[in-house]
Amino acid sequence: MSKPLAGKTALVFGVANKRSIAWAIAQAWAEAGARLIFNYQGDRLKDNVEELASTFGPDTPLWPCDVSNDAEVDVFFEKVATVTDKVDLVLHSIAFAPKDALEGDFINTSREAYLTAHNISAYSLVHIARKAAPLMKDGGSIIAMSYYGAEKVVPHYNVMGVAKASLEASTRYLAYDLGKQKIRVNCISAGPVNTLAARGIAGFSSMLKHYDAHAPLGRSCEPSELGATGVFLASDGAAAITGQVLYVDGGYQIMGM
């Protein structure tokens, strides 16, 4: 079997449980030969992530990193530097907006909800890239997860859509800054996937049905397919691809009607 990521070290941000998109990409990266380091958001998620990470060996590193806490981000990267002198890959699979901002009308978004959504879902990519870049000594690949609501109105996605637009634009500016260090920065725009972040969204199952009915491939995407795209973007096959948004959505994004 080919191991396109053999010898690579990856930071994986955003595993909450086994349904997390970050977990699907982590599994594919590990299968492709990468060594993984995980974050977790707060003590509540530690046991979950520890159990999943231990699949790759009892010594798989994991440390807390809530991206709203500068000190925690600093300590996380200090700890990374104690176990490796080089990082090659980074996955950003983090988003949050207060629940009430994802209900009702966008026009009612509070300043606080707007700032929180952008802080956690977009600024954190810039912060993580700045901390990771000095460790990415041989260049590398940074990948962030986006969604179609960044470019078109998806009812109720609201401020998250605006934050994803910021994430995608940040990806382009980071790609420009980091190109000289041979660090590529791209987004994967996934179709709807039934994860913790998607459950509890009113009408989520009708959204999946909408993709089944209207996407060229008659469906959204499987987590394993996001994993495979994650491996591609991380590999030398994507060596000339940076600043892009790749749609893994059954083709839904090309449709006008």
Q: Which residues are marked as active site?
A: 147, 157
With CB under 6 A as the contact rule, which of the stretches 29-37, 60-68, 79-87, 127-135 interacts with ligand NAD?
A: 60-68
Q: Where do the H-state alpha helices sit in the chain?
A: 21-31, 46-53, 70-83, 111-118, 124-132, 158-178, 204-214, 223-234
Q: Tokens standing for 167?
A: 């994430």
Question: Taking Cα atoms as reference points, which of 198, 191, 223, 194 lies closest to residue 24?
Answer: 223
Local structure of 216: helix, strand or coil: coil
Residues 145-204 that bind ligand 0WE (CB under 6 A): 147, 154, 156-157, 160, 192, 197-198, 200-201
Residue 99, contacted partner among ligand 0WE, ligand NAD, none, CB below 5-8 A by kind = ligand 0WE
Q: Which listed option, ligand 0WE, ligand NAD, none, makes contact with residue 16 (CB within 5 to 8 Å by class)?
A: ligand NAD
User: What is the x/- site pattern for ligand 0WE, positions 96-125, by CB under 6 A?
Assistant: xx-x--x-----------------------
Compute the half-sphere exposure of residue 236: CA atoms within 13 Å on the CB side of its CA.
7
Q: Is 227 in the site for ligand NAD (CB under 6 A)?
A: no
| Burial of 181 (C-beta count, 10 Å sphere; 0-12/13-18/19+) | middle
Q: Which of residues 127-166 bind ligand NAD (CB under 6 A)?
A: 145, 147
Six-digit token string for 158: 């609201």
Applying CB under 6 A, which residues contact ligand 0WE?
95-97, 99, 102, 147, 154, 156-157, 160, 192, 197-198, 200-201, 207
